[in-house]
A and B are shown apart, each in its own frame.
Chain A
Amino acid sequence: LAKTTQPISMDSYEGQEVNITCSHNNIATNDYITWYQQFPSQGPRFIIQGYKTKVTNEVASLFIPADRKSSTLSLPRVSLSDTAVYYCLVGRTPNTGGFKTIFGAGTRLFVKA
């Protein structure tokens, strides 16, 4: 299972774009990259998942370079409510035989007014 490395914390201001990069040097061919968000006293919540290039949904974009050894979660125009811990996970999806996840320490994002 690929280990991930993320910055421990980041600060930002409301309205700014935030980019959080995750390193996963030993990612396997079948691995997907998934990002979760966690607020205090809640379980992690899925944000976005990708395999290569770029994925965009209504809340974020995920950029994955060709070598897939890293990925960047991009949050456009953050608000105070985006203050949370963000986890980058690497693993297989259920439809390829199982998904055992390893949560790293995550990145604590603090959005200031």
Chain B
Amino acid sequence: EAGVTQFPSHSVIEKGQTVTLRCDPISGHDNLYWYRRVMGKEIKFLLHFVKESKQDESGMPNNRFLAERTGGTYSTLKVQPAELEDSGVYFCASSQDGRGTGELFFGEGSRLTVL
């Protein structure tokens, strides 16, 4: 079974540009989460999808960040325009809904560097 996949693994952009990160969750997982770790800081929750609906987006830092999950499958996280402080690693995770232990399956992360 394929795990959570994220693309790109590393992106380098200039301040003011736009970047879109993609996450493909494990097939059948209704829950999809985005997290990020900014340099030297803790892993912070960004938002949570249940299928295509945003269940909780309280962790989104500002309106430069837009997450979508059309059709309830893969998700994208767009940063527009990117700022220097957006640099970090963005993790996606998925989990089953309604059963299981609540285990989150994480991707390997997308490293974003804003110059």
The listed residue with most A CB atoms (<10 A of its CB), out of B43, B44, B98, B103, is: B43
For the complex, give the distance between the alpha carbons of A70 and B45 in Å.
23
- The minimal Cβ–Cβ distance linking B107 to chain A, given in whole angstroms, is 5
Contact partners of A105 in chain B: CB under 8 A: 42
Q: Is the CB of A46 within 8 A of B104?
A: yes
| A81, B40: Cα distance in complex, Å | 23
Interface size grouping (class) on chain A = 20 to 34
With CB as the reference atom, state the residue of chain A lying closest to B35: A103
Chain B interface category by residue count: 20 to 34
Q: Whole-angstrom distance between the alpha carbons of A102 and B44 in the complex?
A: 7
Cβ-based interface call for A29 (8 A): no
Q: Find the A residue at minimum CB distance from B103.
A: A46
Interface residues of B (CB under 8 A from A): 4, 31, 33, 35, 42-45, 48, 50, 55-56, 91, 93, 95-109
